[in-house]
């Protein structure tokens, strides 16, 4: 069982390495939004809901994080989404858009003491990696269609 988890995480590292290597093609960050700070901490998940992010109790603080990303991305990289009660280490960017500040989740790990890196969710420009993955999947589907039919869509 441990080997299977390690193999999945290793596969994840390979996939993410490929994705991060092609980030140069990503569009620039949304105008008006700026990363003003970063944060990290280890704590227990107290809530996790699709579309509402997750809240982690780190020490005495409740840290609300947005930007978990779509379920399909987590499934594609073989990483389980956090559940209430899970101990996690999280990294985030504090992003300010106009007058609103939010903690945007950039990475998550269940066990920082193992040699397998955390699940990266955003690139160095704070752009979601699932957007890049979706573009690559669409490109692959387009190539497969062209190969099958000999024509473009």
| CA angle at 44 for the pair 77 and 19, rounded to the nearest 5° | 20
Look at residue 94 and tell me if it is in a domain. yes
Q: Report the pLDDT value the prediction gives residue 62, as an integer from 0 to 100.
A: 97
* Contact between 98 and 84 (Cβ < 8 Å): no
Residues 6+ apart with CB under 8 A from 99: none
Q: Report the pLDDT value the prediction gives residue 133, as an integer from 0 to 100.
A: 60
Q: Write out the residue range of the structural domain in which residue 43 sits.
A: 33-147
Q: Report the pLDDT value the prediction gives residue 67, as an integer from 0 to 100.
A: 92
Between CA 107 and CA 115 the distance in angstroms is 16
| CA angle at 129 for the pair 9 and 77, rounded to the nearest 5° | 25
Look at residue 24 and tell me if it is in a domain. no
Look at residue 102 and tell me if it is in a domain. yes
Q: Report the pLDDT value the prediction gives residue 148, as an integer from 0 to 100.
A: 75
Look at residue 63 and tell me if it is in a domain. yes
Look at residue 136 and tell me if it is in a domain. yes
Name the domain count of the chain: 1
How does pLDDT run across 102-146, given as a tens digit for each residue? 999 999 999 878 877 889 999 888 888 888 766 666 656 666 767
Which carries the bigger pLDDT value, residue 82 or residue 6? 82
Percentage above 70 pLDDT, the chain? 70
The domain that contains 122 carries what CATH number?
2.40.50.140
Which carries the bigger pLDDT value, residue 3 or residue 147? 147
Look at residue 48 and tell me if it is in a domain. yes
Look at residue 27 and tell me if it is in a domain. no
For residue 84, how many other CB atoms are within 10 A of its CB?
12
Look at residue 8 and tell me if it is in a domain. no
How does pLDDT run across 25-83, given as a tens digit for each residue? 333 444 578 999 999 999 999 999 877 899 999 999 999 999 999 988 898 888 889 99
């Amino acid at each position: 069982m441990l080997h299977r988890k390690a193999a999945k995480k290793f596969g994840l590292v390979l996939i993410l390495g490929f994705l991060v290597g092609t980030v140069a093609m990503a569009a620039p960050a949304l105008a008006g939004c700026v990363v003003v700070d970063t944060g990290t901490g280890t704590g227990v998940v107290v809530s996790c809901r699709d579309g509402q992010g997750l809240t982690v109790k780190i020490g005495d603080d409740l840290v609300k994080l947005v930007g978990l990303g779509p379920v399909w991305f987590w499934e594609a990289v073989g990483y389980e989404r956090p559940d209430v009660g899970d101990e996690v280490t999280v990294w985030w960017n504090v992003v300010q858009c106009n007058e609103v500040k939010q903690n945007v989740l950039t990475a998550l790990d269940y066990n920082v003491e193992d040699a397998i890196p955390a699940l990266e969710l955003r690139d160095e420009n704070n752009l979601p990696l699932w957007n890049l993955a979706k573009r690559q999947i669409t490109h692959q589907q387009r190539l497969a269609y062209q190969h099958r039919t000999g024509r473009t869509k």
